[in-house]
Structure 1
Amino acid sequence: MEYTANRIVELVESITWHPGRVLRIFWVRHSLESRQALAVEISRVVGTEAIVPLIVREGFENANAVMSDVQKAFSANRNAFDCCQGKHVERVSVILLAKEDFKLPQGASPVILPQWFPVKAGHETFFEIADLAMTAEAALLDCPEARIEQIAEFTYKLEAELVARLASLQLSEPARVRQFVAAAHGGGAEPDALASVSDYQQELGKTIDPRAYRPNAAKEAKSLISRLLKLVLHNPPKQLGVVASQLADCFTDSSYVTLKPTLFAVMSRPAAKMNVEAANWHSILLAFYQSYQLMNGAAHAGEYPHYSVSLQFVSSVDLRSFLFAARSYVGGLT
């Protein structure tokens, strides 16, 4: 995950200071462009607080040498602190710009600051190096790293691919479409498959911009995804595995690919072992549900706790990778 200078500053400023601390150090991996150019953009003093970026060229590989590495980094980059000269600085956030991820354990360490340091010069203070992505928190899914618009687009395209497959099968093997629609609608009285597929198509047609797509699980909703979401919402894990098997049975050969489920799907899998086809459909059902919940969470971000941007980013990558692969899988079903 790479950041712009403005995003780094925004994340740093969002983190609350520990009482009594005057120094904090954040690690940022930056490997795509010039770290020197990025450092120039980040460096600033706002009020009594300074943000000072330092370029890491060596060290920070041994947990026992962190204090020494920090002092060397300060000395090697003394000119980076020039932005503090002539200003009343009370707290400094140091950004370590490195090419690699931070791999050392995080914990507070003492350091004697240089005589020229802008705060507590020559005195001992405590610091800890924290990975900025793991430390900075943003409202649940209400940050750019969550890529909610792309999740919406990929969800829409997967649903559209599935509806297209059903429409094609309706012309050649309507019995299998009836079987699928019956399973998707949760059993009971057999629905009109032809009318249901038509409803699916019409509901998709109402979306002008896939990046603004937002599924609806309301009782009266007629889209295919709304039907599948209700299966997840109304069935316990064990029964959802059975439903996934029913959906898989509607296609003649869907075992040619084993989809890699999202971590969320792995955590929600039923105890009973499923064959490849059923496992794929179980993963698809839960991916639709995960997308639905994430989009709802983003729309109501203020109602949820804060989570690290790295967690949101990794979760988003996991889900988007699955949605992309699942679309290709569905497109090859017969």
Structure 2
Amino acid sequence: MEMDAKTISNLLGTIEWGASTSIRLFWLKIPQGSRDALAEALRKDEGAEVIVPIVLREPLFLSANAVMSDFSRLLESHKKSFEDLKVVRDQKITIILLLKENFNLSQISSPVVLPRWFPIMGGVEAYLHISDLLWCAETELLNCPGAQIDLMSAALYDLECSIVERLRQISVVKSGKVRALLDTINPGGGGTEAMLVSFETFLKSVNDPKGYRPNSTSKSCLMSLLFSQVLKSSPDQLSSLSAKFQEAVADNSVELLRPTLFGIMLRPSNKTIVAAKNWHSLLLAAFQVYQLMNASAHAGEYPKYPVSLISSNARDLLEFLVAANKYVAFLFAADEDDMVTG
């Protein structure tokens, strides 16, 4: 997620102040770009909130037992930044530490005594809570840039295209395996050729893969049929479907795909071969994207979640989808190698 002064100010605005709190401290990891330039932009921000950005270069806040002394050192090191503030009566101050790496301690709390020269509450003891900004700040579920729904949609579309193409290829030499899968996901749906043509025609009708959003009711979309099956399957039933998929695409891979975290939580109890495990992960990841698309389209019906959680989930899914697309492409390459050496 790109961080600029406006984005940071907006995130701070989503976090409510605690009762009787006049000073708060957040940290934010800025792994790339100039932290000094970002700090300068934040100082010039003319929002309602007083923000003091500090580029942290000292080894502070490494131990929960040294919070008070470390905070005193921090204030003394940046005394001028606070003395230059134009703070009116009853105004509050937010300090944000810009780091290259994450804190070892994600949440720190301690009573601290503010120096007498401090713009507010000078000489008074205050309770300081140091928090990760991206975990405390909340945003609407998935209709934000960090959710990256458009990239997921495009990756899911590419994956579906590759799977349909693979089913077409295998249907020529092992039609029974493909037929067994199609009968499972779309019983009474017609012949193998008719269904494959229907899948291909549907995919060709998609004008913009980034706006691709299948549902669970269409009979002409392979992913829609899969979502319908996932919705009504137990983990073990889904494992059986994954095995049929593995056979239908003639997948004999022995390298295990790393599933999404969601996929681990729904792993089946029965033992299966590696390739079937991979298709289990593929089906769950596709279903996960489908559910996130729906949540994005109806964001107002859902609660807010931490920015870091939404971003981490998006990254987990996108990394898997990239790996999954390469995985299916490898099936074609493996067949070509067999033809050369056969």
TM-score (norm 1): 0.92
Letter in 1 for 2:9: V
Which range is displaced more, 200-209 or 106-115?
A: 106-115
Change in CA separation of 1:65 and 1:130 when aligned onto 2, cut-off 3 Å: same
What is the match of residue 274 of structure 1? 272
What is the match of residue 249 of structure 1? 247
Could you report, residue by residue, the CA deviation over 1:191-230 in whole angstroms, capped at 9, with x for unpaired residues?
3111111111121122211111111112x44200001111
CA shift for structure 1 position 31: 2.6
Q: Equivalent residue of 2:111, what SS?
A: strand
Could you report, residue by residue, the CA deviation over 1:255-280 in whole angstroms, capped at 9, with x for unpaired residues?
24311111101101111122112111
CA shift for structure 1 position 173: 4.3
Q: Equivalent residue of 2:52, what SS?
A: strand
CA shift for structure 1 position 13: 0.9
Q: Equivalent residue of 2:248, what SS?
A: coil
CA shift for structure 1 position 135: 0.9
> Following the alignment from structure 1 to structure 2, what is the Cα–Cα distance between the partners of residues 3 and 205?
37
Change in CA separation of 1:254 and 1:193 when aligned onto 2, cut-off 3 Å: same
- Once the two structures are superposed, the pairs formed by residues 296-311 of structure 1 within 5 Å of their partners are 296-311=294-309
Contact map agreement 2:114 2:122 (CA 8 A) in 1: yes
Contact map agreement 1:257 1:329 (CA 8 A) in 2: no
Which range is displaced more, 133-142 or 110-119?
A: 110-119
What is the match of residue 288 of structure 1? 286
Which range is displaced more, 34-43 or 103-112?
A: 103-112
- Once the two structures are superposed, the pairs formed by residues 1-334 of structure 1 within 5 Å of their partners are 3-43=3-43, 44-47=45-48, 49-58=49-58, 59-81=60-82, 84-85=85-86, 87-88=88-89, 90-104=91-105, 106-185=107-186, 188-189=187-188, 191-218=190-217, 220-333=218-331
CA shift for structure 1 position 6: 1.7
> Following the alignment from structure 1 to structure 2, what is the Cα–Cα distance between the partners of residues 290 and 86?
48
> Following the alignment from structure 2 to structure 1, what is the Cα–Cα distance between the partners of residues 176 and 237?
24
Contact map agreement 1:45 1:51 (CA 8 A) in 2: no
Letter in 2 for 1:241: S
Change in CA separation of 1:329 and 1:46 when aligned onto 2, cut-off 3 Å: closer
> Following the alignment from structure 2 to structure 1, what is the Cα–Cα distance between the partners of residues 144 and 89?
33
CA shift for structure 1 position 238: 1.4
Change in CA separation of 1:162 and 1:293 when aligned onto 2, cut-off 3 Å: same
> Following the alignment from structure 1 to structure 2, what is the Cα–Cα distance between the partners of residues 87 and 191?
75
Letter in 1 for 2:33: E
CA shift for structure 1 position 190: 6.6
Change in CA separation of 1:135 and 1:86 when aligned onto 2, cut-off 3 Å: closer
CA shift for structure 1 position 87: 4.4
> Following the alignment from structure 1 to structure 2, what is the Cα–Cα distance between the partners of residues 239 and 77?
61
Letter in 2 for 1:104: L
CA shift for structure 1 position 114: 2.2
Q: Equivalent residue of 1:129, what SS?
A: strand
> Following the alignment from structure 1 to structure 2, what is the Cα–Cα distance between the partners of residues 254 and 119?
68
Gaps of 5+ in 1: none
Contact map agreement 2:170 2:248 (CA 8 A) in 1: no
What is the match of residue 339 of structure 2? none
Could you report, residue by residue, the CA deviation over 1:85-122 in whole angstroms, capped at 9, with x for unpaired residues?
26456111110111110221524311121223222122
Letter in 1 for 2:79: R
Which range is displaced more, 264-273 or 159-168?
A: 159-168
CA shift for structure 1 position 67: 1.5
What is the match of residue 338 of structure 2? none
Could you report, residue by residue, the CA deviation over 1:162-204 in whole angstroms, capped at 9, with x for unpaired residues?
112223334454444323322332xx44731111111111211
> Following the alignment from structure 2 to structure 1, what is the Cα–Cα distance between the partners of residues 325 and 36?
41
Contact map agreement 1:45 1:84 (CA 8 A) in 2: no
Letter in 2 for 1:200: F
Contact map agreement 1:203 1:222 (CA 8 A) in 2: yes
Change in CA separation of 1:110 and 1:86 when aligned onto 2, cut-off 3 Å: closer
Letter in 1 for 2:210: R
Contact map agreement 1:2 1:30 (CA 8 A) in 2: no
Task: Please identify runs of 4+ aligned residues in structure 1 that moved more than 6 A.
Answer: none
Contact map agreement 2:112 2:125 (CA 8 A) in 1: yes
Change in CA separation of 1:159 and 1:82 when aligned onto 2, cut-off 3 Å: farther
Change in CA separation of 1:252 and 1:164 when aligned onto 2, cut-off 3 Å: closer
> Following the alignment from structure 1 to structure 2, what is the Cα–Cα distance between the partners of residues 210 and 83?
52
TM-score (norm 2): 0.90
> Following the alignment from structure 1 to structure 2, what is the Cα–Cα distance between the partners of residues 31 and 53?
16
Q: Give percent identity, aligned residues only.
A: 39
> Following the alignment from structure 2 to structure 1, what is the Cα–Cα distance between the partners of residues 204 and 81?
56
Letter in 2 for 1:67: M
